[in-house]
């Protein structure tokens, strides 16, 4: 049995899942258009193709209520970082900042959020 131990260790090494970088929100801009907002978000993620890519981001109030979600329908392997927009976001009166969080189709929601102060 002793000769199998090194093989078992090698097998376990290759069976360990590789943790990729979470999608990162690198920039956010918010533009008011009357009573609604346009939110532009720039993401960075090591997309590898359809098997692993950043597939969305959301806008949250400081207390965690979702104000909007932008689904990303395809990988951006050769376009990093990349920016996508969401129009028609309604931000309740009195909310002066929002948080943005990104998601990938393998690892789910990133634990990090970016807080954005809204212009007056």
pLDDT tens digits for range 87-98: 999 999 999 999
Supply the pLDDT for residue 11.
Answer: 41
Torsion, Cα 38 44 48 51, to 10 degrees, reads -50
Whether residue 20 is predicted with pLDDT greater than 60 in this model: the reply is no
Stated pTM of the model: 0.79
* Share above pLDDT 90 across residues of the chain, in percent, rounded to a whole number: 59
- Domains assigned to the chain: 20-117 (2.60.40.730)
- Please report which confidence band the pLDDT of residue 48 belongs to, taking 50, 70 and 90 as the band edges: confident
Distance from the first to the final alpha carbon of the chain: 71
């Amino acid at each position: 049995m002793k000769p199998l131990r090194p093989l078992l260790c090698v097998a376990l090494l290759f069976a360990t899942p590789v943790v990729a970088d979470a999608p990162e929100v690198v920039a956010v801009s918010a533009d008011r258009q009357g009573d609604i907002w346009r939110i532009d978000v720039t993401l960075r993620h090591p997309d590898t193709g359809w098997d692993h890519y950043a597939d969305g981001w959301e806008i949250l109030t400081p207390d965690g209520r979702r104000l909007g979600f932008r689904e990303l329908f395809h990988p951006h392997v050769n376009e990093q970082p990349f920016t996508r927009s969401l129009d028609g976001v309604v931000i309740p009166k009195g909310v002066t900042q929002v948080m943005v969080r990104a998601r990938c189709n393998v690892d789910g929601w990133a634990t990090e959020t970016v807080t954005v102060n809204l212009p007056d």
